[in-house]
Amino acid sequence: MELLALLFLSFCFLTLSGLTFGAESGSHVIVKEDDDAILSCSLNNMNIKPMLFDWRKDTERLQVFMYNNGILHNKGPPNQDKQFSGRVSHFPEELEHGNASIIIRKTKVIDSGSYTCEFPHLQPERIFHIELIVGASPLPVVRIFHNGRLQCEVRSASPEPTVEWWDSDNQRLPSEDPVVTEEGDIILKTTVTRTGLYRCVATQDSIKHQIYTETFVQLEAQRGRERSREGERGREEQRGRWRMRTEQRWNKGSFRFHWMGGCWCCQCCFGRCFGLCCCS
């Protein structure tokens, strides 16, 4: 539970002003899929308006964004890779302060990789390296089968999460070995033996993210026993009410009867069963 609270606070902190800065450690930026990512690059106290800076991705050197003395290359091919078309912008008001950072909007998992921010005309040439990790964290899908059998499926998560079953006391449950499909989905099964709340938890440590789906399980055997106990209590209460009504009825009139040996007996007949009473 403490981990869930810590992760929630961290996520709230990192989504300041509608831009997700992620968990930035040195030259690493980590964001969730569909969030915006800021890749930082700066020459302190230097006006870079008349300069050229060029953003590239991975060893293929895909063109991400280029600024050249006020001319932008961010409209797609031929000067920008189509993967980034229309999604990358810079901070024009910060150029005179040396800020060459960019924003990649609505990030995708395929945006993950190594980026460089290059000033090729400077002597010596200045190159900054940034690693971007985009995580996909879909909500686990839970299915309930008979006899306490539970299945959790986490689809297309990236990076690959650790999937676990927990009970309502935040205790991990014994589970079968997870199955990973060709599509990268993870399936985890377990069996529970008591009625209660259970959750499937997917944790991605590398992007500091955790998500879960909670479900309530009512075991049929326990439900049957509970119904049986409720039914027995109801029958006992009904028998008690019937006896009370009968005693009240038979204590009226000229005869007095009492319950003995499973039938009503007349006192004046020395305990004979009702129907054979000789009173007159």
pLDDT score of 90 more than 90: yes
Q: Are strands 113-119 and 102-104 parallel, antiparallel or unpaired?
A: unpaired
pLDDT of residue 18: 30
**pLDDT tier for residue 276 given thresholds of 50, 70 and 90:** very low
The whole-angstrom separation of Cα 227 and Cα 222 is 8
Among the listed residues 25, 68, 23, 76, the one whose alpha carbon sits nearest the alpha carbon of residue 50: 68
pLDDT of residue 3: 45
**pLDDT tier for residue 219 given thresholds of 50, 70 and 90:** confident
CATH 2.60.40.10 fits 141-220, yes or no: yes
- Residue ranges per domain, the chain? 2-135, 141-220
141-220 matches 2-135 in CATH topology: yes
**For residue 232, which phi and psi values (nearest 5 degrees)?**
-65, -40
pLDDT of residue 239: 57
CATH 2.40.160.60 fits 2-135, yes or no: no
What's the average model confidence in pLDDT over 10-16? 32
How do residues 138-172 score in pLDDT, each as one tens digit?
Answer: 899 999 998 899 999 999 898 899 999 999 999 99
How do residues 37-85 score in pLDDT, each as one tens digit?
Answer: 999 999 988 999 999 999 999 988 999 999 999 999 888 788 899 999 9
pLDDT of residue 20: 34
